[in-house]
A and B are shown apart, each in its own frame.
Chain A
Amino acid sequence: MSKTIKLRKGLDIKLIGEADKVKGTVDRGASFAIKPPDFHGLVPKMLVKVGDKVKAGTTIFADKYNEQIKFASPVSGEIADVVRGEKRRILEILITPDAENSFEDLGAVDTASMSGDDVKAYMLKNGLWPFIKMRPLDVIADPSDAPKAIFISGFDSSPLAPDYDFVLHGEDEVFQRGIYALSKLTEGKVHLTLKTNSAADEALKNAKGVQINKISGKHPIGNVGTQIHHIDPINKGEVVWTVNAQDVAIIGRIMSSGRYDASKVIALTGSEVKNPKYIKATIGTSIEKILEDNIKGDNVRIISGNVLTGDKISADGHLGFYHSQITVIPEGNEPKFMITKGWMGPGIGKFSINRSYFSWLMPNKKYALDTNLNGEHRAFVVTGEMEKVFPFDIYPMQLVKSIMYNDIDLMENLGIYEVAPEDFALCEFVCTSKIDIQEVVREGLDVIKKECM
């Protein structure tokens, strides 16, 4: 019963700085961090103190309001610091790694023959649960829910995204182990969605125990939200869980070895990287070593994740929990004179879905876009632009407006249960009025969480 989906709406933003298909290695970072803000809405309850020794896999904190959800240290070492922000909110838990990584013995298990409850207990106890997110809300899954399906996207279509066929090559066994584990968690199906007409890697193509769907079109076809909407849309009251493909392999690896080995292949991308390539790294690693001698200028923005949905981090920051990509692009904090580079200029270097700049003459050009807003915040004026890049049977502008004026009934009716902020990333990109739509959607989801879930 696999499905084939063809979408016409969407947008591929062509950027300079795609990672070369080589797997490099760099020295292990001098520090690691787990950042609670990576898990939206989480209030951590610390289980270790500064100075405590931990091994890879030692639980370091738990969800304050659902203590069975635990978070593990990705490496062995010493808790160096707990960085707090406003209202003593915990921003980062820094770990100084040992010279030699040692693992907590979690006990190797055979995921193929476990029961659902056992899988759930194992994942919760050993800090694997945070890899599973839920829709609606796009937060860590609630273990007491019974999801109607689990969705895994077999590729990433966002700009400069890592190629899953490359990063998962040779991970067949652990990926399959991860799938087995996940398939125990739902009565429904596990959906794995691949790109039509592209030779997926064996690890993905030959996966067993999943329904393989095919999808074609432009970004955001790789977003799991788009895939859910077209394969098995979420109605009010239903829950779907999602896991990143690389995280499936991590789950499989940890469960079959009993060692918390949270290493993955990340892509180092962007126009300001001298030598964009793939690198083997571990969740939470400091990026200092990775970027050393590899950045072109000083005035750059470093992003953990991709340019549409990633988080801004500093040069000594850390890789986010769900991210498998670091992007470096120019910072655009210089004013642009109207005739040469601004709104009256020819705009050769400006990318736009409209053809008002002459860059439409070069449809295949790759751009080095900077972080300038390219305009000022305005009220909504232009209509129809979001619909061009939003392949959902949902009215994006109407939904965003309903969130702005906080009409919960209307939000529900217009389909807020089916969307996550990342689904609106392209809408935000094209918005003429420069409205921060992802933030608005997140606020809407917070209201829904508070009032309706």
Chain B
Amino acid sequence: MKSIEKMMRKMEPKHDGKWAKFHPVWDGFYTFLFTPGETTNKGAHIRDGIDLKRTMFMVVTALIPCLLFGIYNTGHWHYVATGETTEYMDMFGDKVIYGLIKVLPIVIVSYAVGLGIEFLFCIKNQHAIQEGFLVTGMLIPLVIPADTPLWMVAVATIFAVVLGKEVFGGTGMNIVNVALTARAFLFFGYPTMMSGDKVWMSGIADVPRETLEANGVTGATQLGELATFTGAEADWAYPSIQAFSEHWSIMDSFFGMIPGSVGETSTLAILLGAALLLYTGIASWRIMFSFVAGGLFVGFLANAFAVNEYMMLDPLHHMVIGGFAFGAVFMITDPVTASQTNTGKFIYGFLGGALSITIRVFNGAYPEGVMMAILFANVMAPLIDHYVVGANIKRRVKRLKTKAA
């Protein structure tokens, strides 16, 4: 290790040399390899072992089950669309290879473009590179369909990093979740690539219509089909919500055997990640818990007043389809954009979860409400904190008044 350290030291740009401006880049690589020998100077002489790199590393680790399952699932639905197989374990190798070919380039593009932008801003501002994008770079590929063209991934990443984060001052300063900003950009910028029934099974656009019909494949996600229930009865994808639930069982959705964005389908893989994040204490259980509680609350409320077919869907079913679980574990919990007070976290999570299901059930134009709900909750978070902190201030003022009286 000493030799690597020496080599790195040798490459360090001098502060008056011509590469001086690139010092933050060197610093980024150096601190990636070595925790610097910087010691405490003021205040506490010892410090907790954790740093931001470890925190981000834990989140990336927690995302790995989702990524692996996403790779398999991408291949699986490709071969379902082409009609070559419908069995889960059939052609396993082919599915994984197809998935790798589809998903890995997206991951690479997302990281390369995002980190490139980060480095540019570090050089421009002469700041140390911060670790926020390590997670964002993994989240972006997981929340978009596998068929998204790579140039779109690149454009969305640039948009999200520059306008979502850097204009606010970089990691730790952003108002809304960066990965969701990228997704929202794609969703509104290229709606045909982010919704409908031509994107959720990789390669389906190239399969002739007759083949699809012959195989009984529609290409829509469950949410797309569910959204038809909000329209006229003639357009319903199924004769009743019962029929829908029989076609797509909760268990299938739980294991992730459904079409959708790369990493969001398997609730099981997401739960593995959630277990890691909660056990290590990296993510806030308060937010996760209240997000799910908010979703269930609206789900049951809809059940109780079921005036249309969609409202009769089992709330548990809501939990396992679409991006709800992924949002609950990886998106809404982003500490920078979430509420920062413990009480606020409960309110914030509940708001996000409740709104997600509300948009799903009551707004036919947006089959999936999770992205919009979380972005909205992000924007509301400072307001929530303002009132929570305000209560604390009032308590203190009141204490003084009772004393004076």
Contacts and interface: CB of A to CB of B under 8 A. Distances in A.
B303 interface: no
A224 B78 CA distance: 66
B210 interface: no
A398 B45 CA distance: 24
B33 interface: yes
A355 B278 CA distance: 9
B341 to A, nearest CB: 6
Contacts of B132: 381
A351 interface: yes
Contacts of A378: 51-52, 130-131, 171-172
B268 interface: no
B279 A355 contact: yes
A413 B391 CA distance: 11
Contact of B340 (A233, A334, A383, A425): A383
Interface residues of B, number: 62
A356 B282 contact: yes
B394 to A, nearest CB: 9
B51 to A, nearest CB: 2
Interface string A304-334: 0001111010000000000000010101111
A371 B43 CA distance: 11
A439 B280 contact: no
Contact of B48 (A331, A340, A352): A352
Nearest to A344: B57
A379 B5 contact: no
Given A343-B35, A354-B282, A380-B172, A371 B45 contact: yes
A382 interface: yes
B54 interface: yes
Contacts of A434: 47, 51
B123 interface: no
A376 B24 CA distance: 13
A354 B35 contact: no
A223 interface: no
Contact of B341 (A327, A342, A375, A395): A395
A332 B280 CA distance: 25
Contacts of A421: 43
Interface in B34-63: 34-55, 57-58
A258 B69 CA distance: 80
A88 B53 CA distance: 42
Given A310-B45, A342-B35, A357-B50, A415 B396 contact: yes
Interface residues of A, number: 75
A372 B39 CA distance: 4
Contacts of B49: 347, 350-352, 357, 359, 374
A112 interface: no
B76 interface: no
Contact of A369 (B46, B279, B284, B338): B46
B50 A393 contact: no
B55 A381 contact: yes
Contacts of A433: 52, 172
A437 interface: yes
B35 A338 contact: yes
Contacts of A414: 389, 392-393
Contact of A381 (B4, B33, B34, B52): B52
Nearest to B403: A235
B173 interface: yes
B395 A303 contact: no
Interface string B342-360: 1001000000000000000
B281 A373 contact: no
Given A233-B399, A331-B39, A354 B44 contact: no
A338 B34 contact: yes
Contact of A428 (B43, B128, B385, B392): B43
Interface string B2-20: 0011000000000000000
A326 to B, nearest CB: 13
Contact of B39 (A308, A350, A356, A373): A373
Interface string B363-405: 0000000000000000000000100010011011101100100
B400 A432 contact: no
Contacts of A338: 32-35
B345 A384 contact: yes
B50 A335 contact: no
Interface in A430-447: 430-434, 436-439
A404 to B, nearest CB: 13
B322 interface: no
Contacts of B50: 350, 352-354, 356-357, 374-375, 432
Nearest to A370: B46
Contacts of A340: 1
Contacts of B308: none
Given A340-B1, A395-B392, A356 B55 contact: yes
Given A354-B50, A355-B279, A438 B35 contact: no
B55 A335 contact: no
Contacts of A370: 39, 46
Most buried by A among B1, B42, B47, B397: B47
A394 interface: yes
Interface string B168-184: 01111100000000000
10 contacts: A235-B396, A235-B400, A303-B45, A307-B46, A308-B46, A374-B47, A384-B345, A413-B396, A414-B392, A439-B43
Given A233-B399, A307-B46, A378-B51, 16 more contacts: A351-B49, A356-B280, A357-B50, A370-B46, A371-B45, A372-B39, A373-B38, A376-B52, A376-B128, A379-B172, A382-B55, A383-B338, A394-B392, A395-B341, A429-B46, A439-B42
The 8 closest A-B pairs by CB, nearest first: A375-B51, A350-B49, A379-B172, A438-B43, A335-B34, A343-B53, A336-B35, A235-B400
